[in-house]
Chains A and B, each alone.
Chain A
Amino acid sequence: MNTDKQNIKKNSSKSIRISGAEAVIRSLLEEEANLVYGYPGGAIMPIYDELYKFQDKLHHVLTRHEQGATHAAQGYARTSGKVGVALATSGPGATNLVTGIADAQIDSTPMVCITGQVASNLLGSDAFQETDIIGISTPVTKWNYQITKASEIPEIMAKAFYIARSGRPGPVLIDITKDAQFEELDYSYKKCTGIRSYRPYPELSVDSLKKAVLLIEQAKKPFIVWGQGVILGRAEEEFKAFVEKSGIPAAWTILGLSALPTDHSSNRGMVGMHGNYAPNLLTNECDLLIAIGMRFDDRVTGSLNTYAKQAKVIHMELDPAEVNKNVHADVALIADCKISLKEITNRISNRKYPQWIDRFDELDAIENEKVIDGDLNPTKPGLTMGEAIQMINKHTNGDAIIVTDVGQHQMVACRYAKFNQSKSNVTSGGLGTMGFALPAAIGAKMGASEREVVAIIGDGGYQMTIQELGTIFQQKTAVKIVVLNNGFLGMVRQWQQLFFDKRYASTEMVNPDFVTIAKGYQLEANRVSKREDLDQAVKKMIDSDKPYFLEVCVEKEANVFPMIPTGASVSDIRLE
């Protein structure tokens, strides 16, 4: 039983004579990467040849474009908590990875990309499909390295995985020349456990911890904003314990979503540009802001000149470069939040802030009346994005992984989707990559195959990576695809309406028949445009155990509110 794995384990202790390409595959297996996404081509063919030999141990998913491979690897990483792997050839194969790499960099997603490169004697000669992918990817990778000798492969692969997953995770690119893939080496594998110039887990300062506890104990109106750091740090339990013991109301950034169940009494919603009314407004009323695993992105803070100026700030963050970058921290707890949350919870007392919580409730009531009620219980005939999300909640009970693209549907989905467990929200936050969702959903499903995965996508972003329907078809990946079709690049159109006097420059889309296209890939497909049909249509989709496409035709010119206009203060949040 399981002799292959044992063989590999055994082999890692003494060296064997193999090709560089085989060393790449064996290294992947050592790092428990038995699922990779990619697209073959000339400069990476030796590695693909080894994939053929190892296909019983390592599953390769052929995406329809290299960008799809990166987003699938990201989706996989986000739901499984493991490192996603993408393979591509040199030149255009490598450059097609760049968007996904940049996305993974800004959203701290652990990913290792392996690119083939022209033979080392051709480097710099403008050879066929040669591109300087090391130079190109440098600003958007946590680390990258070009291998020109097979003997470097095991050590560099071990380093790549270690760097990608440790500390604040991120993408690593390894570029391997074709001759290094063919060349033989004496292979043995040793996992990387440390690099002398790299300190992924700074030690928590007890002094700062004491100061933070003091600030918390003194606060009358404390407020927590948490981000993805809670999820990446696998600190959901510690976070929940902190929130419950401290009694402090908490709100999330878009990437922090799902770390605490949506219906948890301390969960006060989303902060930021299209976040909830109460948490945005009260950011500027609280006397203590506790930021956990987040980086004060401009979409969260609005104008920094007016952001939480009245409050003391405790910033719990793993990456020292994020501390005092955008918002001054009165106390910085630079450490793994799993540790700092536990330590802080142990030192604080049980508290309740009834009057302060009332403020949230009051503002929630206003938002409910002015925004939410109209979104979820519309009286006009056109379907709203909100009611589509609400219907998905009804049929998934909040147990699904929701993958979103970028734009209006993303904001609406994040505002209204229900989540019961962590690692359930997969979206492109920092980079705002349209086209992310469809391929990311493939990876998300493969990373958590027992769970329901619903991709919610706009008609614009869907067409940026629509070819990945081919991957879904070939792999039989049972993702549920919901396109909220308003015939517009809705978020840009909303801005044109609000800030450019309704000059709808190139935002209206003349769309193909999406149902026919899905059927072309032999997916079950359906379209719904009437309110009375929505319930059944969503039910049928969720009941299916196969990949399924549902187009929901929604109101063409609806807007997402609340909204903080770019550069405005969080206090200037608009409800209409």
Chain B
Amino acid sequence: MLTISHVRKTFNKGTINEKKALQGINLHLKPGDFVTVIGGNGAGKSTMLNMIAGVYPIDSGKIEIDGVNISREPEHKRAQYIGRVFQDPMRGTAAGMQIQENLALALRRGQKRGLSWHIKNEEMDFYREALTRLDLGLQTRMTSKVGLLSGGQRQALTLLMATLERPKLLLLDEHTAALDPKTARKVLELTDEIVNEQNLTTLMVTHNMKDAIQYGNRLIMMHEGRVIYDVEGEEKKNLQVEDLLKKFEEHSGEEFANDRMMLAK
């Protein structure tokens, strides 16, 4: 499904701020893999997702989706394969446009946009149904501007938009980190539901180790731009947070002290 081989990325090369963000990442995802990604700050989690999505060009290596080499495709071309939800709830939706307009934009992800009307009458029932399942009452407010919604509502809507037209790959970049605990839980459960229902191949970055263990069928840990631990199936299910901490120390020779991850135990 997704194959990342030897991908490297260095920011600000040759300057005093040089940062080797990815140092030869190798990762292969099978169809339907739901992979949680953990690691300390600066481990390269978000960078990896951004490289897959094409936000910045990679320095070397290869990224393939279903055998198609997308390493050098621009971001907007890769969008035909990839659905994305970001950490910032403001990023995933157009605040000044209606809920239904946002959905119509999302339904056409990766398609050529021409001169036919931006939203079709026969799509409306589909949108209403999709919004109903979010259980946020948005189905009765389809012509409201998205800017009127709360962060949690916007994030749920973004998730819906990312999966409205089934993506080959779903990238979730700490998409619940900016929400309050209760809303975060709800969005996470919704994520799990949608991913399982559509059998989506998913990469989910999280700072919460419990969530990383609870959700998905596979877990990878990153450190200094490399994958240092990769576990799946039964073994992953039986993991404890303590195991992850130990693994981290083992592989990195460092402790998790002073790291945001520690807080999310």
Q: Does B bind A?
A: no
